[in-house]
Structure 1
């Protein structure tokens, strides 16, 4: 009220604003009561009281006033500044609507009042709750409070505010643990119901849309029940209510709230307040100097509501100034007419007020199409000073005129906290995803680890993303890392062992070849088909060395060499054995009278049989290479590994090669088995029989193992089968002969050979 009188006095003393007009005012106390407000408003707009200035000293009831401002020549107020309460303002607007009396509120923030169709004459210097609600939703989201309690007094202000908050908070992932309305007059039963809701909830953050009088009753019960650790979020109605601190400071430390914009200073207001004398105020004498004492009345450090009153008065003044500057014929009304500022009509004043655009104490004041000012809030934090007093610290701000991503600015480092977090469910860490709980709010959820092959690199991720074919999740499943490249390498232990064994087998084969060549004139070597033995040893050495082609990183050319080399080398070996077995059978058959068999199976025929047996395998391999050859392939089907492997290209080609070797081996085994008991001290047939049994055992075992293994182990199994079967042939056929040649040379004689 005093700020209004000061502003009017200031305007009347200015020469640059309304130099030909003087403003007067009537003041009525609304008592924050609708019937009282209506009666006072009707007195103002009907011209009572008489010309002059009057103040009804009914200030003890409530600090909310209807403020009227009019030209001093008129007894009718063409504009009302007030009320503070949204509900009272709505009642006044509905009652005064037919008079088109503009109402400028300095503290009514309900977003419902922005409806210009319903309230066309309403304006305010207080931002709409729609902006405060956006700021509150951003605030709780900023601190990760996804589980908050929302309470409010049973009023239009709180109902609309809570409804807006519930709508706005959804897009930020914030859920209301509960919403509860309580009556303006708080009975013990109403307080018990409210406190039961607060205590039963797991939420520690409470947003309260109320005034300070209701807050006192709530805090009194909170203390009685010894509820601690609550993080209060204040609406602008009590965000700077210092009177609460005196009694409940221990419960309110750390409170956060958006307060309406503060004026750093209104020049002259402090002096105006200090210069007032009050009569009939015992025990004061009425002559005290207010400069000598401190009181919240004379504290001008938090000029927020007062600043809104100051701006509201200046809106009227600037509207009248714009009206005075109107040029006849260019006016906004019918036929370009202008309004008479000395006999102003309310509807004319409304037009100019809505177009007001001026600067007040360095701030630009203007209004949108709903009669709302640009919203700006200070984020205040209630902090305890060392002496126990309250320090309202500005820790951020919300500027609705800034881009949405930068509208809220917070300085976390200076905030004092009573509690740190309030969530229904803990955040899902990276590497997991959110799964909703059926029938519960979206803030209540479970965390499920990402499935195999998927990652999430943000907290509270709704979905996990699948890694690309050549990457795989790390252990935490929050990052895709390159898959391990796998192939049988010369640098790993298994590759080294197989390489050494292959070379060793080739060396043993060549060493035996040297021994046989050195003793080529001995009966034992000569009696066992020396030429085929030499060829077999060479081919066995090749078989051992073929195993080396399966080690190392596969490439297309290597894949196209290894399989044909494997098939042809074994075809050579088995063909030689087949020829040797056939020679044994033919030799004994040729001893029968009149037999001419050996004539048809001499050295040339033996060589031809080896070539023929091998030629079939060569043809199979050539057809395979020409139709669908083997090639290198990066196999990404496995979890964390990319297997570089040789694929056969044609499965039929691979199994034909393997099957042909099996056919040769079966023929060799059959002939050797038939010749195993022929009378010869060094009959090779029985050794060939044993070698074929080992050969079959190796390759029959190889097939299921080969099919069931993967990666480098498949290659290792293949090499093992090659080496095992080659060693079986080498040891079964040649080791007994080497034993006689080296250890028992006396048995290597024609006499010993011919005993049977």
Structure 2
């Protein structure tokens, strides 16, 4: 059964008169070659003495015109009538054992369901729909063309290989087209590929329908178009594409039309250049070309299709009374054929044997039937030696008895031919590419790869990509995407209301990265790491602390050292002028101890610089607490001495006994020792320790010293505050005592500055982030130290160095005033 005519003639059904016989049109030279090739193969088998000895295979050709109704009518007439040979004598077999056909999947489904009733196997050479693999529905169906399941997977692998994620699909309005598109869509969707549109071509499309299809193709942003259709169905769409000059589309063809000379013409090439697709395997068949070209239109047995071919090809009428094909209207030409015309003189698709692909499938179909019958014949030979062996009688073959032998066929004719449990062969294809021939007018099918489903997953698809010429006429692979790929550092964000292949590229948030293209989500960096600026890798977080090398640290260290040097300079001046009245009058011993404590206050700020460690953190807090406690203890002692000095002038007052130098030293020691006790308890229980602050900044780690115990730290500060407040109150009370150089005034100013600095320190310390808390603390220490140093010792140094005439006992004594 072959669709020798491509289409049926439309009939107008009035329901008033009986419809006439069904007519067909469009003589298909390619399909006629298939039918002639089958005749050649059967005659070749009959000449083979080793295959089916003493058995002659017969055949009858039927034209189905690609129409379901006509195919069904033909199959029913074949299965229900006895077979007659060429001499019109009834053969011994009551019916034919097998039917080879039909070309289309829908046609094969229709007749296979009918043949199930008669248990007649159907062997198809071109029906590739995956639906025919259902053995429950089609138990007597076999085929020599791979199932479209393999083609859909092959095309999906091809699409993924070239990075196409935005495609259009086009299919015929039959089981082959619809099922092929559905399977291909399901495969590519699993790979993250989106289908922009799905268009179905009607079997008999109107001009408006074809124009709408082409408009959809042209307006879509998808640059790649995958088409599942036979050549007769896709031809009107291609013609409209050519008429509208639609270019810039990469066509991917199914095996049904990828090697069609009806479509791959020079006129169509400007729009279809670079078409690529999987074709069924081709083969060289010796002797076939000679057989095809030796065709005689009136030779016996008479073949009406040969006559129609001859008249159509040579545009003449044969002078004969033999009947014309019953399905086609005869065409009368003005010229009479001589019958001596030569097919060898013309180059047409009929005698073109360069792309024998479907023909090769027919070869396998015919030889598979022959092999099955041969195995059945051999079974009868074995029965003679094994009487209990059961096998069918080949001379009285009943329907369905050949089924077992078809299932077990396994032979090689270049390719291994056998069927799986579904009656399907292995999926094996050639990847062909349409390229312009050397003459510039012909189209060449260049094999650029292969697909074999029997291999492992990673080896199934083999490509020679550098040999492919695309629709642009260059080897550069076309791009077909709805959205450009998101670079590393970005993630895909699907556009609302669009397929998943249409998306925006959104930068990864801080602390997260994407290190591959088209990553759907950014993943966060692990602990201790942060994203770099391009957001494509995680790098270790920068560890930050106040160091000597940076600007703040260098300035603060310089200031601290300068303060210490100034304190030592003042001490040197006092040491040099220790016997002068000014130095002696201000208790030189306490002054030197105060200068020492101020120097230590300046130097303790240096412990706040550098990386916090388990040694440095306690040293910072303890040095600060002890040095300031010592400083304020000295100031408090000096204030008490100044205040009590005037009380001792009264007769009989013994208070001065308790403020002699030993008592002053004891008071300083006791005040200092109390702070030392607090610090010792702090160190013994919960000393300060270094911590990594990861919650203040996400992109860096702040190394800082934890207080260990906030309570002890507060005790230290409160104690220093109490000393300062007590000293300030006493100094304030003694500020107006009659003296030309009243030290209480300067202590008052120094404590005023000290308290102002540390009161402002608290909010500044709390609100400063990271290492700037250390800066604030150092500034407070330096400011309060400079305040004490300048307020107390600057006036004295000024008199000692610049006004030595005032450094006398007479000047320092209070002057009596006249009443």
Note closer, same or farther for the CA distance 1:141–1:603 as it changes in structure 2 (3 Å cut).
same
Partner of 1:151: 170
In the alignment, is the contact (CA less than 8 A) between 2:738 and 2:814 conserved in 1?
no
Partner of 1:706: 765
Check if 1:642 corresponds to 2:701. yes
SS of structure 2 residue aligned to 1:21: coil
In structure 1, what is the Cα distance between the partners aligned to 2:663 and 2:718?
Answer: 25
In structure 2, what is the Cα distance between the partners aligned to 1:446 and 1:129?
Answer: 35
Partner of 1:379: 431
Check if 1:42 corresponds to 2:76. yes
Note closer, same or farther for the CA distance 1:695–1:174 as it changes in structure 2 (3 Å cut).
same
In structure 2, what is the Cα distance between the partners aligned to 1:124 and 1:521?
Answer: 126
Check if 1:466 corresponds to 2:524. yes
In structure 1, what is the Cα distance between the partners aligned to 2:452 and 2:667?
Answer: 97
What pairs with 1:247-326 in structure 2 (closer than 5 Å)? 247-263=267-283, 265-278=284-297, 281-282=310-311, 283=314, 286-287=339-340, 293-326=346-379
Check if 1:453 corresponds to 2:511. yes
> 1:152-206: per-residue Cα shift (whole Å, max 9, x none)?
2211211222222332222111222222222111211211332333344332322
Between Structure 1 and Structure 2, how many residues are aligned?
737
1:323 deviates by 2.5
1:326 deviates by 3.3
> 1:564-597: per-residue Cα shift (whole Å, max 9, x none)?
1111111111111111111111112222333221
Partner of 2:645: 587
SS of structure 1 residue aligned to 2:278: strand
Match of 1:112 among 131, 150, 157: 131
What pairs with 1:495-644 in structure 2 (closer than 5 Å)? 495-637=553-695, 638-644=697-703
In structure 2, what is the Cα distance between the partners aligned to 1:83 and 1:501?
Answer: 101
> 1:222-242: per-residue Cα shift (whole Å, max 9, x none)?
233343212222122111123
> 1:692-714: per-residue Cα shift (whole Å, max 9, x none)?
22222322232222222233222
Partner of 2:101: 82
In structure 2, what is the Cα distance between the partners aligned to 1:665 and 1:409?
Answer: 89
1:329 deviates by 9.4
> 1:478-502: per-residue Cα shift (whole Å, max 9, x none)?
1111211212222223222222222
SS of structure 1 residue aligned to 2:279: strand
In structure 2, what is the Cα distance between the partners aligned to 1:415 and 1:482?
Answer: 47
Match of 2:141 among 118, 122, 130: 122
Note closer, same or farther for the CA distance 1:532–1:329 as it changes in structure 2 (3 Å cut).
farther
What pairs with 1:14-53 in structure 2 (closer than 5 Å)? 14-46=48-80, 50-52=84-86
1:733 deviates by 1.4
Match of 1:94 among 88, 97, 113: 113
SS of structure 2 residue aligned to 1:326: helix
In structure 2, what is the Cα distance between the partners aligned to 1:388 and 1:721?
Answer: 92
Partner of 1:186: 205
Match of 1:365 among 413, 417, 433: 417
Larger displacement relative to structure 2 (314-323 or 347-356): 314-323
In structure 2, what is the Cα distance between the partners aligned to 1:689 and 1:624?
Answer: 31
1:630 deviates by 1.5
Match of 1:139 among 144, 158, 161: 158
Note closer, same or farther for the CA distance 1:19–1:587 as it changes in structure 2 (3 Å cut).
farther
In the alignment, is the contact (CA less than 8 A) between 1:149 and 1:177 conserved in 2?
yes
Larger displacement relative to structure 2 (396-405 or 270-279): 270-279
In the alignment, is the contact (CA less than 8 A) between 2:84 and 2:91 conserved in 1?
no
In structure 2, what is the Cα distance between the partners aligned to 1:53 and 1:108?
Answer: 33
In the alignment, is the contact (CA less than 8 A) between 2:83 and 2:93 conserved in 1?
no
In the alignment, is the contact (CA less than 8 A) between 2:545 and 2:610 conserved in 1?
yes
In the alignment, is the contact (CA less than 8 A) between 1:22 and 1:72 conserved in 2?
no
Larger displacement relative to structure 2 (529-538 or 680-689): 680-689
What pairs with 1:198-217 in structure 2 (closer than 5 Å)? 198-217=217-236
1:16 deviates by 4.2
1:454 deviates by 0.9
SS of structure 2 residue aligned to 1:243: coil
In the alignment, is the contact (CA less than 8 A) between 2:513 and 2:538 conserved in 1?
yes
> 1:26-78: per-residue Cα shift (whole Å, max 9, x none)?
22122112232233333433455522499xxxxxxxxxxxxxxxx99747321
In structure 2, what is the Cα distance between the partners aligned to 1:730 and 1:534?
Answer: 12
SS of structure 1 residue aligned to 2:350: coil
1:289 deviates by 5.8
Larger displacement relative to structure 2 (627-636 or 550-559): 627-636
> 1:498-534: per-residue Cα shift (whole Å, max 9, x none)?
2222222222212221221121111111111111111
Unaligned runs of 5+ in 1: 55-70
In structure 2, what is the Cα distance between the partners aligned to 1:285 and 1:481?
Answer: 89
Partner of 2:327: none
Match of 1:225 among 244, 248, 254: 244
SS of structure 2 residue aligned to 1:572: helix
In the alignment, is the contact (CA less than 8 A) between 1:133 and 1:161 conserved in 2?
yes
1:334 deviates by 14
> 1:384-414: per-residue Cα shift (whole Å, max 9, x none)?
3452432222233332223334433334333
RMSD of aligned Cα (Å) = 2.6
> TM-score, length-normalised on structure 1?
0.92
Partner of 1:65: none
Larger displacement relative to structure 2 (610-619 or 37-46): 37-46
Match of 2:797 among 719, 729, 738: 738
Larger displacement relative to structure 2 (443-452 or 320-329): 320-329
In the alignment, is the contact (CA less than 8 A) between 2:494 and 2:504 conserved in 1?
yes
Partner of 1:490: 548
Note closer, same or farther for the CA distance 1:338–1:151 as it changes in structure 2 (3 Å cut).
same
